[in-house]
Amino acid sequence: MLKKFILLIFFAQSFMVSAANYDNPRADEIFRKIDFSEYKDEAEGRALLSEFKSIIAADDTQRQNQYTAMQCWFVPSESNEQLNEAVEYAERQLLLHSNPIPSEINTELRLCAGYYKQFAGQSEQALSDFEQAIKHAYELDDPRLIAFGRNMRGAMLSYQGNYATALEDLIIAQQLYENIGMDYWANENLSQLATTYRRFGDPETALKYQIKLEQAYKKSAMKFEANTINTQIAYSLAELNKFEESNQRLQDSVTFWQEQQDEVYVADAKISIAGNLLKMNKTDQALRILEAVEPIVTPEFDSVHGYMNLYLAQAYFAKQEYEKAISYTQTAIKDFNRNGNQRSQNESLKLQADTYAAMGNFQQAFKVFTLYNQKHLALDKQTMADRNAEMKARFNTNKIASENELLLKNSQEKEQQLRIMQRNENLQIVIMLLVAIILVIVSVFAYNQVKRKHKFRTLALTDELTGLSNRRDTYHQATQFIAQAKQTHKPFSIISFDADNFKQVNDKWGHDIGDKVLVKLAALTVGLMRDTDVVGRVGGEEFLVLLPGVSHNSAVEIAQRLVDNIAQYNWSGISAELHQTVSAGVVTLTDEETLSPLLLKADHALYEAKHSGRNCVKTAN
């Protein structure tokens, strides 16, 4: 597991400052080698770690914590048995470092445990560990731990098909990595982001990022990383139906792993080649490859094993050998269920239903198709256009508000320290002169701190493109309006609207024109609302209007006026052939206690407006 050892780079960085109580140049040198991954292979890394352990003092707590965190990532984890032992090791270390919480060592061990659990098929437990670690990272006000936790959770959710939350995690991680100058991890995260865009149905965007990363890795002679991104490029090309080009790159990956003498990764690349061949209707050629690798790929490699069985089932279905196809789909479903891959599990169910139908077993086909349909509808709900419904329904506005407070906490503590320092500098007349100088410096620093604090608060609450309230601020204000409405017994209504066919605008005229359309939609909306109303951008092209004190009928009238004004606006000033409309859903507070169910109603109304021909207003009870 290459990524496991790359993870050491990050965890080494988070300890470097805190290990200064002991003078141990050799230990620090070894630590830096691991920090920058300056070892050629796992054996050299283990040797360095062993030497590090032998030369640090037993009471050097900080370096002992360094060792514990690094050792967690060096635990063998190639087989199911080793993975379970790795999980047990991480859990034991968590018990030993259970105080204080939160702490850096506890948070890092929590991430380590979650990492092993996801590969051991313990998806729910892994997600729980990632969420706890992210929460503690925010409490520690540690941007690196926040970024790393978001990166790991985002990668896992992306694989499972929860693209909306995955994209949010990965985009936040990307911003943090870039802001704190962690270029290596920014590239790693960008690779995950590109993969998520590909799975999300946007292989063009994914390919753009991936080719850029491949060039950077090749320039830096990072062979493993270049090979990994080469494989991801192959998957994106396959999504674009460029199967020959995809297979050429996958063959390069086969050659690479053959040089590394890793037969499982060789088999994995060959399985992907076979998948492309099946799409090219080269069934016999694909089947020969799959039958050759079948003895190599054992069930412990559940992801690879799952795709191998899925492709074998597809091949035998094409050859009308239905009994074999059924058998392989059953195994594939178990594999994908074990690692939480809903997308591929659904694909396997669909194939199984088709196979039963081809065999004339329509009762069993209907039973399997019903299960497939249930799962497919659930997955569709999660991944429909911009996937905002599910994200809103689960979004904890109080948590987001507390996250904003935590991001400002550090500057407040610094201001308090400055006030304490000022009170202690008044002992002698000579020192008074120094105090005066210090006060000037402190005043300038405090002024800059206030300016930065104001800037950070504005950035935290404002959408950068449109200048409207962002999703976090909009949801926070909506929660306050709900509380006020409950207390005063006054109405509160919401308009949820988004731009119709906005993807076509981006595809036809480009993202610059798309951004101008969003800015104009924001301006037109604000111009129609009262000063007491709140207009927020809560998604790509989705907006939310909060109308405190407005009844349902009035809200519908306002929404209709908004839809009509936008439809009648002369869009030719932005682009000659452009005509933009919006669809809107209106909902009014009844007995809802929180924001989430109200948002779900608004989403249903918006969904109905979309399916009623767009450029209209619908309501929800």
**Burial tier of 418 (Cβ tally within 10 Å: 0-12, 13-18, 19+):** middle
Stronger pLDDT, 416 or 137, i.e. the higher one: 137
**Residues 293-320, mean pLDDT to the nearest whole number:** 86
Residues 90/93/95/96 CA torsion (nearest 10 deg)? 180
pLDDT digits (tens, 9 = 90+) for 49-78: 999 999 999 888 888 888 888 888 888 888
User: What is the spatial distance between Cα 480 and Cα 272, in angstroms, rounded to a whole number?
Assistant: 51
User: What is the spatial distance between Cα 245 and Cα 237, in angstroms, rounded to a whole number?
Assistant: 7
Q: What value, to the nearest 5°, has the Cα angle with vertex 550 and ends 547 and 555?
A: 80
Q: Per DSSP, what are the bridge partners of residue 496?
A: 544, 585
What is the model's pLDDT at position 240? 86
**Residues 394-410, mean pLDDT to the nearest whole number:** 44
pLDDT at 570 over 50: yes
Stronger pLDDT, 264 or 340, i.e. the higher one: 264
> 3-class SS at 162?
coil
pLDDT digits (tens, 9 = 90+) for 227-242: 888 888 888 888 888 8
Q: Which residue among 225, 541, 542, 592 is the active-site one? A: 541
> 3-class SS at 123?
helix
pLDDT digits (tens, 9 = 90+) for 454-505: 555 555 789 989 999 999 999 999 999 999 999 999 999 999 999 999 999 9
The runs of H, that is alpha helices, within 260-387 are: 263-279, 283-293, 302-318, 322-338, 342-358, 362-383
Q: Two tokens at 129?
A: 């560990």
What is the model's pLDDT at position 91? 92
pLDDT digits (tens, 9 = 90+) for 91-124: 999 999 988 888 998 999 999 999 999 888 888 9
What is the model's pLDDT at position 1? 46
Return the residue matching tokens 């780079």. 9
Q: Two tokens at 318?
A: 């094409």
Q: Is the torsion defined by CA of 208, 209, 214, 216 positive or negative?
A: positive
Stronger pLDDT, 576 or 181, i.e. the higher one: 576
pLDDT at 540 over 60: yes
Residue 541 among the catalytic residues? yes
Say if CB 409 and CB 141 are below 8 A apart. yes
Q: Is the torsion defined by CA of 463, 466, 468, 471 positive or negative?
A: negative
pLDDT at 183 over 80: no
Other beta carbons within 10 Å of 353: 21
**Residues 359-374, mean pLDDT to the nearest whole number:** 82
pLDDT at 17 over 60: no
pLDDT at 365 over 50: yes
pLDDT at 552 over 90: yes
Q: How confident is the model at residue 449 (pLDDT cuts 50, 70, 90)?
A: low
pLDDT at 19 over 60: no
What is the model's pLDDT at position 380? 53
What is the model's pLDDT at position 235? 86
pLDDT at 199 over 50: yes
pLDDT digits (tens, 9 = 90+) for 242-296: 889 888 988 998 898 999 888 888 889 888 998 888 889 989 998 999 889 889 8
Q: Per DSSP, what are the bridge partners of residue 584?
A: 497, 617
Q: Is the torsion defined by CA of 275, 276, 277, 281 positive or negative?
A: positive
0.85 exceeded by the pTM? no
**Integer CA distances (angstroms), 409 to 101, 140, 518, in order:** 18, 10, 33
Stronger pLDDT, 164 or 432, i.e. the higher one: 164
Instruction: Provide, rounded to the nearest whole percent, the portion of the chain with pLDDT above 70.
Output: 82
What is the model's pLDDT at position 426? 47
What is the model's pLDDT at position 399? 45
Q: How confident is the model at residue 442 (pLDDT cuts 50, 70, 90)?
A: low
Return the residue matching tokens 């407070």. 405
pLDDT digits (tens, 9 = 90+) for 29-49: 888 777 556 676 778 888 999
User: What is the spatial distance between Cα 428 and Cα 434, in angstroms, rounded to a whole number?
Assistant: 10
Instruction: Provide, rounded to the nearest whole percent, the portion of the chain with pLDDT above 90.
Output: 32
pLDDT at 26 over 50: yes
Mean pLDDT (the chain, rounded): 82
User: What is the spatial distance between Cα 183 and Cα 173, in angstroms, rounded to a whole number?
Assistant: 12
Q: How confident is the model at residue 355 (pLDDT cuts 50, 70, 90)?
A: confident
What is the model's pLDDT at position 213? 84
User: What is the spatial distance between Cα 179 and Cα 183, in angstroms, rounded to a whole number?
Assistant: 10
pLDDT at 346 over 90: no
